[in-house]
Amino acid sequence: MTWMLVALVVAALWFSVRYAWWRPAIDWRKPRVLMYHMVSEPVAGAKFNGLRVSPAAFERQLRWLRDHGFHFATMRDLMEGSVPAKTVAITFDDGYQDNYTNALPLLQKYGAKATLYLVVDRHERDWSTYKKAHHASGELMREPKLTDAQVREMVQSGVFELGAHTLTHANLPTLDGEAKAREVHGARQQLEALFGVPVTSFAYPFGIFGDADVEATRAAGYSNAVTTVDGIDAHPYADPLRIRRVKISGKDNFLAFVLRMRSGRRGL
């Protein structure tokens, strides 16, 4: 029987390290800002499946949030004063077409809201290479992106707030001041002109930014900006141009989602 006990202990240890279930929940008065990219089925052999949350998994997450009394907010909502405990802000980066075909109907079904960080010049552009030249697989470039008509409908539905993600998904710290301003401020101007709504929320592409990029974001008139740093910040925000998020990965199971809602990160 000893081997069974050993196996049980090993399994319990693995489970504990994998999910860090003992970590206490972060104060529920701190809003959770969730980061998504695509709501679509994984693609066999693809590199970026972490960015693909299946529609079934997304629906299960929305149902859990609703059934557990969470309040859905946009990033602008988070900037307009206090929010109730258990507030969640769902965000989507880049502008994949499935945000319209798959995410919008599910968000409507569960009475949820979200913020879309749209790249202005998003079609036929392989921005993975701006981070690392050897990422030239074209995988994300081939993913269909939202058309302007789809974005308009998403915004007019009242479900989505429109936020900016630069003109070209730029790697901001590599740009000089002028190019930085064009990417950050230009994106806001173009989105506002195209869609006729105020754009005050921003996401740093790749989550890569330095102090000069934060300043460019402030100078461009954004009231808030999100990063890809894992975490859950106190609210109202001490530094609303460096808001941390909770990564929702297509590679995680449902238990991992619930634990991330509690602690903001996965495992150890």
Which positions lie near Zn ion, rule CB under 5 A?
93-94, 205
Nearer to Zn ion, 107 or 118 (CB): 118
Take residue 207 and report the two structure tokens written for it: 């989550």
DSSP string, 179-216: HHHHHHHHHHHHHHHHH-S---EEE-GGG---HHHHHH
How many helices (H) and strands (E) in the chain?
Answer: 11, 10
Nearer to Zn ion, 186 or 205 (CB): 205
* Shortest distance, position 205 Cβ to Zn ion, whole Å: 5
H or E stretch at 260:
helix 254-263
* Shortest distance, position 119 Cβ to Zn ion, whole Å: 7
For 240, the 3-state DSSP assignment is coil
Nearer to Zn ion, 122 or 262 (CB): 122
Nearer to Zn ion, 163 or 205 (CB): 205
For 246, the 3-state DSSP assignment is strand
Cα separation values, 236 from 81, 185, 229, 243, Å = 7, 25, 18, 11
* Shortest distance, position 200 Cβ to Zn ion, whole Å: 18
Which residue is nearest to Zn ion, using beta carbons?
93
Nearer to Zn ion, 62 or 164 (CB): 164
* Shortest distance, position 68 Cβ to Zn ion, whole Å: 29
* Shortest distance, position 88 Cβ to Zn ion, whole Å: 20
First-to-last alpha carbon distance for the chain, in angstroms, is: 31
Cα separation values, 112 from 124, 169, 175, 189, Å = 31, 27, 37, 27
* Shortest distance, position 117 Cβ to Zn ion, whole Å: 7
Nearer to Zn ion, 49 or 263 (CB): 49
Nearer to Zn ion, 70 or 127 (CB): 127
Torsion of CA 102, 61, 95, 251, to 10 degrees: -100
Q: Which has the closest alpha carbon to 73: 22, 118, 34, 21?
A: 34
Unique residue bearing structure tokens 């081997």:
3
* Shortest distance, position 12 Cβ to Zn ion, whole Å: 38
Backbone angles phi, psi at 228, to 5 degrees: -110, 15
